[in-house]
Chain A
């Protein structure tokens, strides 16, 4: 037996790209098929659409947040980003899919939106067509700015575009949070909701960035250490904003506010889900990544990042599903509450995850590793 037979040569880079792209394409197709099948499942079309909504509000802040991270590091004069910037900018590849999914959600909103067709105190503000028209417009503006920034960044500095991108991200994600999550129950409202939504989006984004960094050429142990510290910082920040919600509403004990907390804190199965989210997404990184060694160990950091991402996706389910179950007629019944994580939720997760991963593969194949004037590998 020749030595070549004993140790087959690894596939060339282009082959590896194609192989991975084929895998992600398969995941995407499988996800779409599963999602379509779920229309005939227990929850019907409304649940299938809400499954798509859950993954939309998970992947859109995450992917746009990846680009925003590049701008944030640039504007804060962070010189550590180096070759990892391309991975951050690759979030832009989700632009078209996110717009398509939002348009689909608009098309199906007559089926899944709990208050569709009802007259609400917010008047035209919560007219479903106005809701989706402004959200779609806002998202187009955000991605257009992201395109401007990516273009400037790949050819020059991009500080001005980056500044506008960060501000627009915060505003657009606030709007999406208000319209697509808070407004699921029009009687519940919170001034902090927009802030929580965009900060948690940035948290998920930096976690994905870390995962990408672990497998990218610029992902040295020092860079993993830096990104792990950002994960810890944003887990604390996200937990802080969640706690700020809970404390004020727990103290106030006002019915129009506690209608959000009660199905999640007082009754199963969502009470256990709440505990799991607190343990894995909010406090997990602080404990698991406490030591320097944990932050610099490739496989361990990847495991923690995957744990956080799983918990953050669960958190998106936790934001959407109990609200719908608790406010659906007959309203305020604990026996309405179900965990409801099945094909309708997992199908869109696979489909949109596959789209994002495929987009990242294509983006990194097209864009050179080193970007911009200030990129340095320190």
Chain B
């Protein structure tokens, strides 16, 4: 059983596999980067061409004002969903299989949101006017109208990007410390990578006091990110659903868009992780069982998407609305019919093969299927967005839309841009969460440890520091030692260093939950109130009656603004609280008693004391049978 095999890995082997994947890449890697960079070049040159010549070079024209660009936007926002889904929701559900794919999924989220964010700008034509939509105190008192779902969309996407980046970065801090220590040991402390990771690791040393605040903060990030995932694609769906066009105005759009987004995101996880596992030789850590779990989750999203595909035409018929009925008739039997049935085949029928275990465990089929679902979901977005406006209420207003070469080039270029980001990430940052993998292998067995890294000679034992450090190779031994010292020793100034989060550590040290939660709650409440205040205040300034809605007290849509504010400020305050209490800052200094092995595979228990009590500390720690004992004078 592969899980057993993975559980037999040592902490050092996990480090070696993940950090080994970051070693200097071969020439083929740079050749691939060059190909992607060429695609990105085509993307930007084509965009520049469109800016210079005008939007006429795109296919969007009356009556289809929203075409492939908005379709691409929705598609990429959808791709971005699974990262946070896997990371946040599965973290809350304590699903172990997330560990193998969570980091890459989070990276995928960030790059997908960045790619998605370009498309509204491309669609704008004169993209530099985008700032009109931002809520800033303009001297002309022109505020955005928070009744507009497009403004809500800007808030949601911006919040999602910021929170996802914070979540991605915070989750990586202990791993960056591992990378920092390894690069410093193998390439020297002045290597550019060592400097980069030293800045990014924020002075992380794996002390119990840091883990305590970090663990709580990470949990709150997950709790904040989970509803955010649901909200973002719901808000995107409302761009269409709150309009009254047949094919758009549907209450089922929010959950349907969210399920579709997770569906396509999971498919993209497979598209990226299957080759990545092979190219970076991560087969010991990323198993077929992990892909199978992704596939099982895809069965759920397939069923939800299939449910929506059935309900939409049923209700169009049931309601008896002539416009709805003619629209669905046209989509399913007219010129668009081939795309409609292809969408159903790729998004529902093909993934239904995953109900068979053999299909779920066939990596080649999973890879092919992931490409099919990606194609299917792109077609679905294209279909939803461009078909509704092409065939609305009045027959004389009906039209047609097809992509021009400019739109095709920009669409294809976006894929190369996304892949360029991801390829760079794969070699620059740890692609798997080492600390979480270490947690999942367990720590109850006495196993052979890998070769330890050389100990950092740079001031680990400082003349000014006084105390005794005991080093352990197993966390259960550390916990036993800690309990023994706390029970029997009169010396109470203790610190513990660990390369992974040990749930029992805070309890064994008697650490309280910590005050980060109050920061988070304060930020969330401030954001909630601030969101309502911003929406109502700007409406009071503008005081425009738009779409027959009351300008100031439109509580129903303002809930979205307040919600996004709550999540955004909650996450930012959570981050600030964690940084403050865990004493983390860019390039932060490590304590002098720190040992580079504490980020890899060793645990430290340090008793701080005056010089005259060193012998007592040493005898207290010696009774715990540590692997090493160091006196620090």
Contacts and interface: CB of A to CB of B under 8 A. Distances in A.
Interface of A: 76, 121-122, 125, 167, 170-171, 174, 178, 189-195, 236, 240-241, 243-254, 256
B90 to A, nearest CB: 10
B31 interface: no
B320 A121 contact: yes
Nearest to A291: B517
Contacts of B315: 189-191
Contacts of A170: 307
A366 to B, nearest CB: 33
A190 B249 CA distance: 10
Contacts, number: 78
Contact of B241 (A189, A194, A248): A248
A236 B557 CA distance: 17
A154 B557 CA distance: 48
A202 to B, nearest CB: 14
B contact patch SS: helix
Contacts of B234: 240, 244
Nearest to A189: B319
Given A170-B307, A252-B244, 7 more contacts: A189-B319, A195-B307, A241-B255, A247-B556, A248-B238, A248-B242, A251-B149
Interface of B: 93, 149, 227, 230, 234, 238, 241-244, 249-255, 303, 307-308, 311-312, 315, 318-321, 547-549, 556-557, 559-560
Contacts of B556: 246-247, 250
Nearest to A249: B251
A132 B500 CA distance: 59
A195 B255 contact: yes
Contacts of A254: 244, 249
Contacts of A192: 250-252, 254-255
Nearest to A126: B318
A376 to B, nearest CB: 14
A contact patch SS: helix
Contacts of B243: 252
Contacts of A250: 556-557
A244 B149 CA distance: 13
A194 B318 contact: no
B240 to A, nearest CB: 10
A170 B303 CA distance: 10
Nearest to A171: B307
Contact of B251 (A76, A122, A125, A244): A244
Nearest to A192: B251
Nearest to A190: B251
Contact of A251 (B93, B250, B319, B557): B557
Contact of A122 (B242, B320, B560): B320
Contact of A167 (B253, B255, B303, B559): B303
Contacts of A240: 230, 234, 254
Contacts of B560: 247
B252 A195 contact: yes
Contact of A245 (B251, B303, B312): B251
A247 B311 contact: no
Nearest to A195: B255
Contacts of A122: 318, 320
22 contacts: A125-B318, A170-B307, A190-B251, A190-B315, A191-B250, A191-B308, A192-B254, A240-B254, A241-B255, A244-B251, A244-B253, A245-B251, A247-B242, A247-B556, A248-B238, A249-B251, A250-B556, A252-B243, A252-B244, A253-B547, A253-B548, A254-B249
A13 to B, nearest CB: 35
Contacts of B255: 192, 195, 241, 244
A122 B314 CA distance: 11
B230 A189 contact: no
Contacts of B230: 240
A252 B238 CA distance: 11
Contacts of B311: 174, 191, 194
Contacts of B249: 248, 252, 254
Contacts of A236: 227
Closest 7 CB pairs of A and B: A251-B242, A191-B252, A192-B251, A121-B320, A244-B254, A189-B319, A192-B252
